Structure 1
Amino acid sequence: MLRLSEVKLPLEHTEADIQSAILKKLSIASKDLIRYTIFKRSYDARKKGAISFVYIIDIETTREQQLLQKFKKDVHVVPTPDTSYRYVTHARSGLAQRPIVIGCGPCGMFAGLLLAQMGFRPIILERGKAVHDRSVDTFGFWSKAKFNPESNAQFGEGGAGTFSDGKLYSRIKDANHHGRKVLAELVNAGAASEILYVNKPHIGTYRLVKIVENIRNSIESLGGEIRFQSRVEQLNIENGQVCGVTLASGEYIPSNHVILAVGHSARDTFEMLHHAGVYIEPKPFSIGFRIEHPQSIIDKCRLGSQAGHPMLGAADYSLVHHCANGRSVYSFCMCPGGQVVAATSEVGRVVTNGMSQYERSGKNANSGIVVGITPEDYPGSSIAGIEFQRRLEERAFELGGGTYEAPGQLVGDFLVGKASTQLGTVRPSYKPGIHLCDLGSSLPDYAIEAIREAIPAFDKQLNGFAMHDAVLTGVETRTSSPICIKRGNDYQSLNTKGLYPAGEGAGYAGGILSAGVDGIKVAEAVALSIQSQLEIATTNC
């Protein structure tokens, strides 16, 4: 097949127009075109009022070799790459031990799925509840019911990505097309097939719940096992080699292959690993607020007169500003037509995040506006970033009134350092609710200074970004893990054999897609290690 890129069409076009563009570009007759599939679709909004769609299309034609020769110097006509997934190995019968996966977020879920598909019958240990029960607890907390520190927007089947926009795009290098495997499995589990080709695919929270359940069913049907409310209390290590895990219940499960796929909020697990001597380094992350605007303002700025077109949907944005004090401020996890959500996982602390449903039909747009920090900002041990985050979250809890309401402030008041006392035209979406105040004391002075400089700068790119009535909600502290559990080329911990740090919590991913990809890579490494050990044992016998 041939891959044809940079096929541009106006906003209003049909399938017939796509076919005509293919025939025109390749100078072939319709009888020579066997079939085509859309590999990628995006839009170019640089010319407002004249937005165009841009396609990458895979084509099967009777004249493939002739066309390759004709367009050999044209980078927009090339052989279609092979993106099919191939398993690195398959399990032999009679495995003495089963691999363990700690965590059932995107990384752990895809690691478990791949191991199950290769016949290794993994045991997946999830500290939280199954996704449906977890959803009941999470939405209940948002409605001011009791907070459950083991079942919330961070902990439970599906991981933190379940209560997010469900974004499925990443900037990671993916030469082996593992991302395609992740997307294909999501479609098999019930996601819309469009995620295979739209430029910035997303699923949305309500749809993710059923998809997660279907992936669980697949793992179990292949011999895998998922245990909920099974928090790992201790990683058992002998002579630098993992030999099993001990659960909070006291149960011991032996295994010399353990994938650590906990999320960025598994702070007690990080502390346990630190005390056990697993090598950990502190890493940069970001802190800030959520900002909410009317989605209509963002749509108008980004899409002009074509704002609201059903083919375009709610518009997003990506912003960055380098400040005079040396800090960088950027938009993070932008959620078009979404809502700001309570994402705490610990008693007496407030954390915000953003999420969207599939339709992205909410009145507000929200995004994190965050400041990059480094370990120099929180000196101490390798896990000092955890305490740094906790202090900010405790302060947010105090400013919010101590009821899990989040502290909030109008942008106009924030820019002049004045406490807000009443809302304007923008109604905040955060549940359990916000408590108006002065956010000036919620973050370190350097962060407040940087955000106050960045918002007017962003307004020059998106007119209305600095509108007085836009709402800031604090605090956003879980942008990424504050640690990195270092691993070698074999994906094992540098000083603990058999431990495979993976995903966002270990410092190797930043979203659903990249976490899923990392889970696949680590599962492959575990499978090859198990097979290698079996071969050695067989030879010695």
Structure 2
Amino acid sequence: MLRLTELKLPLDHTPEALRAAALARLGLQEPDLLDLHVFRRGYDARKRTAIHLIYTLDLTLRNEAAVLRRFAQDPHVNPSPDMAYRFVGRAPEGFNDRPVVIGAGPCGLMAALILAQMGFRPIILERGKVVRERTKDTWGLWRRSELNPESNVQFGEGGAGTFSDGKLYSQIKDPQHHSRKLLEEFVKAGAPEEILYVSKPHIGTFRLVTMVESMRRTIEELGGEYRFSTKVVDLDVDVASDGTRRMRGLHLEGGGYLEASHVVLAVGHSARDTFQMLLERGVYMEAKPFSVGFRIEHPQGMIDTCRFGDFAGNKTLGAADYKLAHHCKGKGLEGRTVYSFCMCPGGTVVAATSEPGRVVTNGMSQYSRAERNANAAIVVSVTPEDYPGGVLAGIDFQRELEERAFRAGGGDYRAPAQTVGDFLAGRPSTTLGEVIPSYKPGVTPTDLAPCIPDFAAAAIREALPAFDRQIRGYARPDAVMTGVETRTSSPVRVRRGAAGHSLNTLGLFPAGEGAGYAGGILSAGVDGIKTAEAVARSLLGLPTEMERAA
């Protein structure tokens, strides 16, 4: 096949126009084009009066070699890359060294699926519940302020990504096209086929629930085994006379023990007790940067109009999103960046705490993105210099802010909220305006600034007017902010070497968001695939990618 990129058509083009445009672009006649497949469809909305769709097409031609020669100097005409997924190996018949995956979020799910497809019959340990029971527990917090610390937005089958917008795009480098494998598996599990070609695919919570269940069934049919409500509380590490550390097994809550020489650590960014255990067991870890701030809500219609003009509401474009960043210039703020994170068009702000006495916010959308508000996190980058005190100091920093939010909200899991107008003026909110906050179990109008460090509040105050210059109305006085957003990424990195093992513990494979190697469903899932491959190479005694390249 031949790949044609950057083919631009009007937003309202007919289906027939795509084929005609491809033929015209290549100077071909109808009989020359045997097949056409849309690989990617995005849009260019830089001019709101003339929004165009941008296509990448895979074409099967009658005389492809001649066309490629004719367009040899054209960067938009090339052979289609081979994106087929190939397993690094297969478990021999009767192979009994079963790998263990800790965590059933996007990373653990994809690691388990790949290992199962290679015949390794993985055992998946998840401290939370199956996804539907977990959903009931999560709604218990949202509707009745009842928190289950082991079954919530952060813990349980599907991971934190289940209660999100279900975004499936990322800026990671992916030369081996692992993301394509992930998307294809998601489609097999029930995701809409459009995720294979739209430029910013998303799924939404309800569809993610059924997909996670389908993928679990596939893993089990291939010999995998799930153990829910099973918490790993300690590692059994063998230390040789030369100091070499190697995994031997896992201690489980309640006194259980599981022998394991190869363990995928895919615990997510909120497994704070697990990070403490890893540190105590001598697993090499580092503190890393993350970000803190608030969730901000605007009418989705305002965002649509600002981004799409008269095309707002167009079915093909859907609900508009945005991505904003501001590099601070104020005194004492030099080097700080304020940016939008995890933007959820037509979504809701949700309670995302996993610990009693703390308030955490996150954003969620359904596939339809039909709710009245757009929401996004507006966060400020923080580094270990802002929270000195050791590897786990970032966790203490997060907890302090979450406890402040809990107290400011009233001590019953309501969240503190403030209008943008009041925040910029430095006065507490006593009432809210036309923008109705979507957070459940509810909000308390107050002063948000004391919930985050002074520098972070000052940075956001500087950024909001700058964002208003990019999206008119962004700093409207009745836009509402809800706090706090602290779980943007893991506050630690569990370092690993080129072969995927922990730097100092062979057989332990840190992976995904919790280990500091991903951010979001797609990148976490891709890291799960790569980690599964590393486990398989180790189990089978195969060379690493670096060794093969050498």
Structure 1 length as normaliser, TM-score?
Answer: 0.98
Looking at structure 2, the residues matched to 528 and 295 of structure 1 have their Cα atoms a distance apart, in angstroms, of 48
* 1:286 counterpart residue number: 291
Looking at structure 2, the residues matched to 146 and 451 of structure 1 have their Cα atoms a distance apart, in angstroms, of 32
1:206-265 deviation digits (Å, cap 9, x = unpaired): 010000000000000000001100010111101111101011021110011000001000
Q: 1:112: how far off?
A: 0.2
Unaligned stretches of 5+ in structure 1? 535-541
What are the residue-to-residue correspondences of 1:254-403 with 2, within 5 Å?
Answer: 254-324=259-329, 325-326=333-334, 327-403=336-412
* 1:211 counterpart residue number: 211
Looking at structure 1, the residues matched to 443 and 271 of structure 2 have their Cα atoms a distance apart, in angstroms, of 26
Looking at structure 2, the residues matched to 352 and 157 of structure 1 have their Cα atoms a distance apart, in angstroms, of 20
| Identical pairs, percent | 62
Looking at structure 1, the residues matched to 9 and 95 of structure 2 have their Cα atoms a distance apart, in angstroms, of 55
Looking at structure 2, the residues matched to 82 and 353 of structure 1 have their Cα atoms a distance apart, in angstroms, of 38
Looking at structure 1, the residues matched to 253 and 97 of structure 2 have their Cα atoms a distance apart, in angstroms, of 21
Looking at structure 2, the residues matched to 15 and 273 of structure 1 have their Cα atoms a distance apart, in angstroms, of 56
Q: 1:93: how far off?
A: 2.1
Counterpart secondary structure, 1:149: coil
Q: Does 1:415 align with 2:432?
A: no
Counterpart secondary structure, 1:408: strand
Counterpart secondary structure, 1:114: helix
Q: Which moved more, 1:496-505 or 1:145-154?
A: 145-154
Q: 1:423: how far off?
A: 1.2
Counterpart secondary structure, 2:97: coil
Asked whether the equivalents of residues 145 and 413 of structure 2 are also in contact (C-alpha less than 8 Å), the reply is no
Counterpart secondary structure, 1:143: helix
Looking at structure 1, the residues matched to 14 and 37 of structure 2 have their Cα atoms a distance apart, in angstroms, of 14
Q: Does 1:458 align with 2:467?
A: yes
Q: Does 1:528 align with 2:537?
A: yes
* 2:548 counterpart residue number: none
Counterpart secondary structure, 1:265: coil
Asked whether the equivalents of residues 97 and 254 of structure 1 are also in contact (C-alpha less than 8 Å), the reply is no
Q: CA RMSD in A?
A: 0.9
Asked whether the equivalents of residues 292 and 428 of structure 1 are also in contact (C-alpha less than 8 Å), the reply is yes
Looking at structure 1, the residues matched to 151 and 426 of structure 2 have their Cα atoms a distance apart, in angstroms, of 37
Looking at structure 2, the residues matched to 62 and 139 of structure 1 have their Cα atoms a distance apart, in angstroms, of 56
Q: 1:249 aligns with which of 251, 254, 275?
A: 254
What amino acid does structure 1 have at the position aligned with 2:147? F
Unaligned stretches of 5+ in structure 2? 240-244, 544-550
1:45-104 deviation digits (Å, cap 9, x = unpaired): 011121000000000011101101110110111000000100000001232421000000
Q: 1:204: how far off?
A: 0.2
Counterpart secondary structure, 1:474: strand
Asked whether the equivalents of residues 100 and 255 of structure 1 are also in contact (C-alpha less than 8 Å), the reply is yes
What amino acid does structure 2 have at the position aligned with 1:18? L
Looking at structure 2, the residues matched to 448 and 22 of structure 1 have their Cα atoms a distance apart, in angstroms, of 51
What are the residue-to-residue correspondences of 1:466-477 with 2, within 5 Å?
Answer: 466-477=475-486
* 1:135 counterpart residue number: 135
What amino acid does structure 1 have at the position aligned with 2:388? P
Asked whether the equivalents of residues 295 and 365 of structure 1 are also in contact (C-alpha less than 8 Å), the reply is yes
Counterpart secondary structure, 1:135: helix
Looking at structure 2, the residues matched to 411 and 236 of structure 1 have their Cα atoms a distance apart, in angstroms, of 51
The number of equivalent residue pairs is 534
Looking at structure 2, the residues matched to 375 and 479 of structure 1 have their Cα atoms a distance apart, in angstroms, of 15
* 1:537 counterpart residue number: none
Q: 1:147: how far off?
A: 1.1
What amino acid does structure 2 have at the position aligned with 1:81? P
* 2:46 counterpart residue number: 46
1:400-456 deviation digits (Å, cap 9, x = unpaired): 000000000001000011111111100000000101101121111000000000001
* 2:87 counterpart residue number: 87
After TM superposition, what 4+ stretches of structure 1 lie above 6 angstroms from structure 2?
none
Asked whether the equivalents of residues 145 and 412 of structure 2 are also in contact (C-alpha less than 8 Å), the reply is no
Asked whether the equivalents of residues 104 and 125 of structure 2 are also in contact (C-alpha less than 8 Å), the reply is yes
